[in-house]
Structure 1
């Protein structure tokens, strides 16, 4: 199993001075500089997965990250360079010749939608932008793979038609859950589709060793976005609970347990957008509840996962924070607020979820407290589900091996 506590995928010690041809892989709509560590987790994880597949084929990779930001990650670049790989970061300027030039450099392009979904729920303008970028890649004759992500919904007739058109041109389209697979089938998409799971399950980590103080460490991820009512400030996501009141209730409950140490773990850190910033909200809650520990600002997603991996129990509303816990075999009760939670964890047969769009405040708290009480059993349940993760990611890796193998064989 890849996601084992106290294990990190170490850089290969292999370096090469031979003139072997590097495979150039474009990572379209990935990001190494997003304040949302979930987006960064997808990028780092996809790099780890592609690297592993390429090394099994005896090749090294030049990764070109093509996203909305231009900042790179020096620590990751150094790790890759040590193993003979290379990392570049290029900002997508879709209507300039530079984008096409970058795509032409690639042997393969992998697209994850910079937020891991291909849908029109964020507006037609954004959908059209991503649709056009995919068509440009295909028009330039480069194999395009849609990495495991949520597919749909496409509520508009035009968006549905355009989505089907471009997905038909892709080498492979991977859904990350059963709901998305069913949706693809409803669209009549078959032949080049597959179902895997979120690539962030493969994010490297090393479980943090906290000082032994005899405490049970309970991690709570507080979503700054949900705490503030969404971008509109008016319960934008249609929650059935009073989210701020529920968070305060959970902190109060766990602080009252003498054996517990409460950690508030941010997973979206955006100082320039306070309405989204988990870390800022954690600091304000720490003033209300003296004694809680606010996790530090993490410089990269693997640091956040390593911190979470050292905890004894976890709950939260940021899905990739919950994936970090789950893939490190930490007992977790996700606080779901969208279809993506139910689709992802339901696909794994993991039904221990507090549904913040259906359950009452009381029920959400009861489910989380029950999860904490039964955390030993919950840990075993997580471990059993991780077997499904490995099988599903294996499908994605096998498809990558086929595409990259064709490149190697040229």
Structure 2
């Protein structure tokens, strides 16, 4: 509950979600809220949240948090003066835009880029403080998109890249003055580490990406992988599933009921039929529940980045299977070289790399620990920056004679 004695700062969480079937987006949102609450406590203010993003089939708001859903961005509704999104922005003192982690780019198509861009333009039109929270920036392959993105980011109060590759990309666009680097906020996702599931057996977790298994959103190897991903998964399961010393778990992390090409569970059901020796993880109700499950593994591999972050940040040795530069950028920023690049290497090379990773788990564990030390230090700095912002907003709320920054009710 909000302490009525404290000034309240209302934070709009743009392109976040607490109901997304992609638990990675949910992990970003839960973690962002955790960081904001810690920063607000140090700043001596209360904080409430308005989520401004896509909705899914779940609902996992953190307990005890003052949070509601606002309107979805719509440029047409804004022009007609009927925008719930615009009215939600009016209630916010600050906008944190996380771009669903990796959506501020034109590689997913001009329509999606335009949608992300317009939402930022509407925030700027309202003269609301705009911070782009840690995320992958770009690439912007079209010059008009690159120009428009640079124009918007130059006018943001701060732009945080979540990896050194994105930070360098910002520099190449001439965006250094208000840019900084901080790791993915999902490293701060809370979890419970359960006891071992089967005494004496090695617990192997494999996140199977339904998206890669079906060839991408459009099929036909959309991401131009050198690896035959379905073949890779089957070869690993053929190697591991009948080993009496192993418990092999198939772990979903994206669970949309209406998008079978993107649903990890669809691919997992197929594989569980082919390999009856494997075990299937449950349909998780929240990102924290998924991370708590993953944290019980002795070794993990996966092609959903936030499933791999869940493993890494809970201390589990992991081999991520990269299909885009967001993997390479993030894990290289942590000094972690144990990433299987499915764009660059063949199926057999990737299989051998993953199998070897399981054999040298202690080496991976040491690298994971070093990487986590770096990640948590970066997020501590991000939290301190938010503390400064909340302190400033709290001061303005107390001194503004017009009451413009009073943390209005959602």
Please name the residue that 1:89 is paired with.
Answer: 69
Q: 2:61 aligns with which of 67, 73, 76?
A: 76
Please name the residue that 1:302 is paired with.
Answer: 288
Please name the residue that 1:155 is paired with.
Answer: 141
In structure 2, C-alpha distance between the alignment counterparts of 1:242 and 1:18, rounded to whole Å? 57
- Per-residue CA shift, 1:10-56, capped at 9, x if unaligned? xxxxx665432211000011111211111111111111111111111
Paired positions, count: 390
Q: 1:247 aligns with which of 223, 228, 233?
A: 233
TM-score (ref. length: structure 2)? 0.92
Cα pair 1:164 1:187 within 8 Å, conserved: yes
Counterparts of 1:40-119 in structure 2, within 5 Å, are 40-69=26-55, 73=59, 76-77=61-62, 79-80=63-64, 85-94=65-74, 95=77, 96-119=82-105
| SS of equivalent to 1:46 | helix
- Range moving further from structure 2, 92-101 or 156-165: 92-101
- Range moving further from structure 2, 15-24 or 390-399: 15-24
- Per-residue CA shift, 1:163-184, capped at 9, x if unaligned? 1111111110000111111111
- Per-residue CA shift, 1:322-380, capped at 9, x if unaligned? 00000001000001111111001011110001111111111111111111111122111
- Range moving further from structure 2, 254-263 or 15-24: 15-24
TM-score (ref. length: structure 1)? 0.92
1:268 aligns with 2:254: yes
1:354 aligns with 2:340: yes
Counterparts of 1:211-250 in structure 2, within 5 Å, are 211-250=197-236
1:308 CA drift (Å): 0.1
In structure 1, C-alpha distance between the alignment counterparts of 2:89 and 2:304, rounded to whole Å? 32
Q: 2:172 aligns with which of 165, 181, 186?
A: 186
1:322 aligns with 2:301: no
Please name the residue that 2:326 is paired with.
Answer: 340
| SS of equivalent to 2:136 | strand
Cα pair 1:68 1:91 within 8 Å, conserved: no
Gaps of 5+ in 2: 397-410
Please name the residue that 1:370 is paired with.
Answer: 356
1:98 CA drift (Å): 2.2
In structure 1, C-alpha distance between the alignment counterparts of 2:377 and 2:5, rounded to whole Å? 35
In structure 2, C-alpha distance between the alignment counterparts of 1:206 and 1:392, rounded to whole Å? 23
